């Protein structure tokens, strides 16, 4: 199992390595240096490699078409497909919200990590149990890394028979040893002896080796019950301490298509070229790509909203004095920080991975943040921010949360009328998220169809897989209107 997990993880590393190798060679030599190096270089190596694979998957699709089919299906769009993918793939907002794991074929594997106990310690920590499960969160068990062992089972006692066993971790610290056998309890006398409740000798403990013996005398018979011990071992210079196995778990996924059709008139196409010198090919490809991305982002947001469930915190405006003599709207909305911080903390409490790293707001929540203004809310100064579709980055709140506006959040099931905030966590590594989005084909198209009414129609498609992993990574905050 561990070897399989390691091999699966190695497969992902190999994909990243191969993707980065593509950035070193020109397009004619099978690489993507013209689009992914120099001024166009992507600093994040994983994102750069995934972008290379997005381009490579499209090239593979095109090369599988014969010349006639490629001419009829793609035609004049070929020069624009790769630049559009280069521009759209690494800038897709999904990369900032969840784990993105690029696939190199239709059926692939996605990865996440479980933290598994590799060496047993007492009753609470059994080898193979998960300290952290990516599907259910942290176990809440503490004490695995200290010197204290509680409830270690040395075996079953047999009535009226002497018992001998040995602890798993030695040497043992003097005066820190207790044996339980059924209803009987024996304690360490700090001189290698075990005493019963009356203070009579009942057995022995070898501090150096951890060997334990119970005499099984008539006065202190061994009971037909498990023999369990609590003790502290000496951890100095001792290599017999806790061990964690990192399990790179995986699951199969299959990329499914998302499609959109494009329709335009031959007259408009020709007029734009002849009268304005505009080639609509790039505009049409870009428009369809943006539509597919906006729709896929909306699908991810919808999934995360459903995973979050009912709001964990509420910002209630109705309790404020809204008269002219009351606080200003900026003062009122500043108090939204308290439920937002509490919601962010709840993610850590549930997962012990981290607090929220981003928040998605609807228009009413976005208005509240803009009323607050600097220094608490720093707006994105992108001059073209209002020309972007779907999920749009509008700034940073409290210096720690990237804020994305999604105006359709208000239409989600259970949305509050006064405003809505969806918060989530995404860690620094590719698997650090409660949701995986696995793209395969970023953009490809059907054969162009010219109809008798002189309109052209063509379909565009992207393919990706997705998988929810841990719903506790996402929470909601509701705003109650005044």
Q: pLDDT tens for residues 286-325? A: 676 677 778 888 899 999 999 999 999 999 887 777 676 7
Query: Quick one: pLDDT band at residue 9, thresholds 50, 70, 90?
Result: very low
Question: Across residues 13-41, what is the average pLDDT?
Answer: 85
CA distance 363 to 165: 68
**Pairing assessment for the beta strands 392-397 and 377-379 based on DSSP bridges:** antiparallel
Query: Quick one: pLDDT band at residue 2, thresholds 50, 70, 90?
Result: very low
Query: Quick one: pLDDT band at residue 138, thresholds 50, 70, 90?
Result: low
pLDDT value, residue 91: 80
Instruction: Identify the weakest region by mean pLDDT among 95-99, 167-171, 257-261, 366-370.
Output: 257-261
Whether 446 has a pLDDT exceeding 80, the answer reads: no
Instruction: Identify the weakest region by mean pLDDT among 215-229, 291-305, 327-341, 361-375.
Output: 215-229
CA distance 360 to 366: 9
Which is higher by pLDDT, 351 or 482?
351
pLDDT value, residue 8: 45
Task: Please tell me the pTM assigned to this model.
Answer: 0.69
| Angle value at C-alpha 347, between 341 and 349, nearest 5 degrees | 100
Whether 267 has a pLDDT exceeding 50, the answer reads: yes
Q: What interhelical angle do 280-308 and 78-88 show, nearest 10?
A: 30
In contact, 418 and 364? CB cutoff 8 Å = yes
Q: pLDDT tens for residues 79-113? A: 666 777 777 777 888 889 998 887 777 776 666 67
Most confident of 9-23, 88-102, 251-265, 363-377: 363-377
């Amino acid at each position: 199992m561990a070897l399989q997990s390691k091999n699966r993880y190695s497969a992902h590393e190999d994909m990243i390595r191969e993707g980065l190798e593509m950035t070193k060679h020109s397009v004619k030599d099978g690489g993507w240096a013209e689009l992914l190096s120099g001024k166009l270089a992507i600093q994040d190596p994983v994102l750069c490699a995934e972008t290379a694979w997005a381009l490579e998957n499209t090239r593979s699709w095109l090369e599988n078409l014969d010349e006639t089919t490629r001419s009829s299906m793609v035609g004049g769009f070929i020069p624009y497909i790769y630049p559009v993918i280069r521009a759209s793939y690494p800038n897709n907002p999904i990369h900032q919200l969840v784990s993105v794991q690029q696939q190199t074929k239709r059926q692939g594997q996605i990865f996440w990590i479980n933290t598994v106990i590799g060496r047993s310690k007492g009753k609470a920590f059994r080898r193979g149990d998960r300290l952290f499960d990516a599907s259910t969160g942290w176990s809440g068990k503490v004490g695995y890394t200290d010197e204290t062992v509680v409830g270690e089972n040395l075996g079953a006692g047999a009535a009226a028979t002497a018992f001998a066993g040995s602890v798993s971790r030695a040497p043992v610290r003097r005066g820190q040893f207790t044996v339980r056998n059924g209803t009987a309890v024996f304690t360490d006398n700090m001189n290698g002896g075990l005493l019963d409740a009356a203070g009579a000798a009942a057995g022995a403990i070898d501090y150096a080796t951890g060997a334990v013996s119970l005499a099984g005398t008539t006065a202190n018979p061994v009971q037909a019950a498990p023999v369990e011990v609590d003790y502290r071992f000496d951890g100095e210079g001792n290599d017999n301490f806790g061990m964690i196995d990192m399990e790179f778990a995986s699951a199969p996924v299959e990329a499914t298509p998302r499609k959109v059709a494009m329709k335009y008139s031959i007259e408009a196409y020709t007029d734009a070229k002849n009268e304005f010198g505009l080639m609509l090919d790039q505009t049409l490809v870009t428009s369809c790509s943006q539509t597919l991305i906006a729709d896929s982002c909306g699908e991810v947001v919808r999934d995360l909203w459903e995973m979050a469930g009912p709001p964990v915190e509420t910002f209630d405006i109705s309790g404020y004095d809204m008269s002219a003599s009351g606080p200003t709207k900026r003062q009122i909305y500043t108090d939204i920080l308290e439920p937002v911080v509490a919601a962010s903390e709840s993610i850590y409490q549930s997962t012990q991975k981290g607090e929220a790293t981003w928040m998605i707001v609807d228009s009413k929540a976005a208005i509240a943040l803009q009323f607050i203004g600097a220094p608490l809310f720093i707006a994105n100064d992108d001059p073209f921010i209002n020309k972007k579709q779907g999920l749009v980055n509008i700034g940073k709140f409290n210096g720690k949360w990237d804020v994305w506006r999604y105006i359709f959040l208000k239409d989600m099931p259970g949305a509050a009328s006064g405003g809505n905030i969806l918060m989530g966590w995404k860690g620094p590594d590719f698997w650090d998220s409660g949701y995986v989005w696995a793209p395969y084909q970023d953009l490809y198209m059907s054969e162009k169809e010219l109809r008798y009414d002189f309109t052209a129609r063509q379909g565009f498609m992207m393919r990706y897989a997705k998988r929810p992993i841990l719903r506790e990574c996402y929470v909601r905050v509701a705003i109650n209107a005044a």
